[in-house]
Amino acid sequence: MSLQSEISKNSLDGKNPDQENQNRLPPTKPFSRFIYTSLLWGTGFILLVLLSTGVWIWTYASTPSHLKTSTTILIPKGVGVRQIRTILAEHGIVGDDIRFLILARLTDSAGHLKAGEFIIPPGLTPVQILKILETGDVILHQVTIPEGMTNRQVADILSQKNWVDLQRFILLTKDKKFIQSLGLNQSSLEGYLFPDTYLLTRNEMTEKSLISMMVKRFQQVWEVVSKNQKTKMMPHEVLTLASIVEKETGEASERSIISKVFLNRLNRGMRLQSDPTVIYGIPEFNGNLTRKDLKKETPYNTYVISGLPPGPICNPGKEAIEAVLNPADVPYIYFVSKKDGTHHFSTNLNEHNRAVRTYQKK
């Protein structure tokens, strides 16, 4: 039979070859439809959960706190984000909510939150609070160390404000290994804790860091003031004499004159005979300097020893150091207090004795 005849036969029989092939394909299985439907519903559910979670977190992140006034908090050094959340919750700044932890992770703040003392203003959102803690915008406290304080007095000032442990601070000022680490070769840091106003932050300061800060400040000042010095004294000698000038001076304009008086006495081989040096050498001085004290042999009694004492008797300021480096051009070798903060200066003993009778014995 020919091909044409075969096709005609099939046509006559009512059979379509393409339709017959389609009828032979396997039918769609019900299980496959179930999987497809499940995936569709599952994806929709996951998207709904993600959307709901996003709204849940966004609502928390954008809701301002209920604080009425600014609140100060202290974040200790070394605490994690969970402890920080607890501290904030205790102050009523945020709720004790897991969303704070999630938000810290999502904003990449968790590992960058700083320690210190912070002021949290009212009405901030958790995102804004995290930003404050992350940028480290801590409270800066002004602490002033006056000129003429001894290391013990400096320690007292700092310990009273809870910045240092008194005894640990004092011991460090005599720790030779620590002193050498600061670039100095002295047995004590007396004189090297520069008097100034310092900006300090809670939890960032230790006894070592505070001492290092003050010594570094001294070194910075010394580098500036010592450039045009007129004296050939060693730095430690300059600082020692400057500490005596600081203690002897009540009137700023007299510093360079008193400095020259002491330098004139040193050049003549005379003893300095400075009361503050005697006082420094007396442990637990009771405030009453006696004739017996003036005769007592100590390394700091300049009525007994010749030359300078072994080291500074206080921490002098910049002006006292400059007075020693650039003393006045005067011939005086004596001075006596006028009891008004100023002094009478003399070039000879007779004039000095008359001034003593005038200002001290009347």
Residue 311 is assigned to a structural domain of this protein? yes
Q: Are residues 288 and 239 located together in one domain of the fold?
A: yes
The mean pLDDT value for 335-343 works out to 89
Residue pair 302/245 in contact (Cβ under 8 Å)? The answer is no
Angstrom distances, CA of residue 71 to CA of 129, 154, 259, 332: 12, 31, 51, 60
* 126 and 172 together in one domain: no
Helix (H) or strand (E) holding 231: none
Among 135, 161, 191, which residue terminates a domain? 135
The reply to whether 171 and 91 lie within a common domain is: no
Indicate the angle between helix axes 126-135 and 30-61, nearest 10 degrees: 70
Asked if 200 and 248 sit in the same domain, the reply is no
Question: Where is pLDDT greater, at 271 or 227?
Answer: 271
Q: How far apart are CA 251 and CA 320, in angstroms?
A: 11
Residue 212 within a domain: yes
Sign of CA dihedral 225, 230, 236, 242: negative
* Beta-bridge partner residues of 141: 200
Check residues 24 and 256 and name the one with the higher pLDDT: 256
pLDDT band at 322, cuts 50/70/90? very high
pLDDT interval class at 282 (50, 70, 90): very high
Domain hosting 89: range is: 71-135
Contact assessment for residue 325 and residue 230, using Cβ atoms and an 8 Å cutoff: yes
Q: Is 299 within the bounds of a domain?
A: yes
Region of poorest pLDDT, from 1-5, 178-182, 238-242: 1-5
Q: How many distinct structural domains can be found in the chain?
A: 3
Q: Where are the alpha helices (DSSP H) in the chain?
A: 3-12, 17-23, 30-61, 81-90, 98-106, 126-135, 151-160, 166-172, 176-181, 207-225, 235-248, 255-267, 275-280, 291-295, 318-325, 349-359
User: Is residue 28 pLDDT above 60, yes or no?
Assistant: no
What CATH number is given to the structural domain containing 120? 3.30.1490.480
Q: Is 190 inside any structural domain? A: yes
Residue 170 domain-assigned (yes or no): yes
Write down the pLDDT at residue 12.
44
Q: Are residues 146 and 116 in the same domain?
A: no
Token representation of residue 209? 């860091």
Q: What is the structure's pLDDT at 257? A: 96
Residue 38's pLDDT is 67
| Predicted local distance difference test score (pLDDT) of residue 211 | 98
| 215 and 242 together in one domain | no
Looking up tokens 């040096």 gives 277
Where does the pLDDT of residue 141 fall: very low under 50, low under 70, confident under 90, or very high at 90 and above?
very high
Cα–Cα distance between 48 and 45 in angstroms, integer? 5
Q: Are residues 261 and 322 in the same domain?
A: yes
Model pLDDT for residues 113-137, shown as the tens digit of each residue: 888 899 999 989 988 999 999 988 8
**Judgement on whether residues 115 and 183 belong to the same structural domain of the protein:** no
**Over pLDDT 90: what percentage of the chain?**
57
Contact 268, 220 (CB under 8 A): no
Find the range with the poorest average confidence among 40-49, 79-88, 253-262: 40-49
Per-residue pLDDT tens over the stretch 180-223: 999 999 999 999 999 999 999 988 789 999 999 999 999 999 99
Q: Are residues 221 and 242 in the same domain?
A: no
pLDDT at position 7 over 50: no
- Residue 20 maps to a domain: no
96, 120, 135 - which closes a domain: 135
101: number of Cβ within 10 Å: 15
Backbone phi, psi, residue 120, to 5°: -105, 110
pLDDT in tens, 347-356: 999 999 999 9
What is the rounded distance in angstroms from the CA atom of residue 218 to the CA atom of residue 201? 20
Do 284 and 240 sit in the same domain of this protein? yes
| Same domain for 321 and 243 | yes
Tell me, yes or no, whether 360 lies in a domain.
Answer: no
46 domain-assigned:
no
Same structural domain, 192 and 116: no
Task: Tell me what percent of the residues of the chain surpass a pLDDT of 70.
Answer: 85
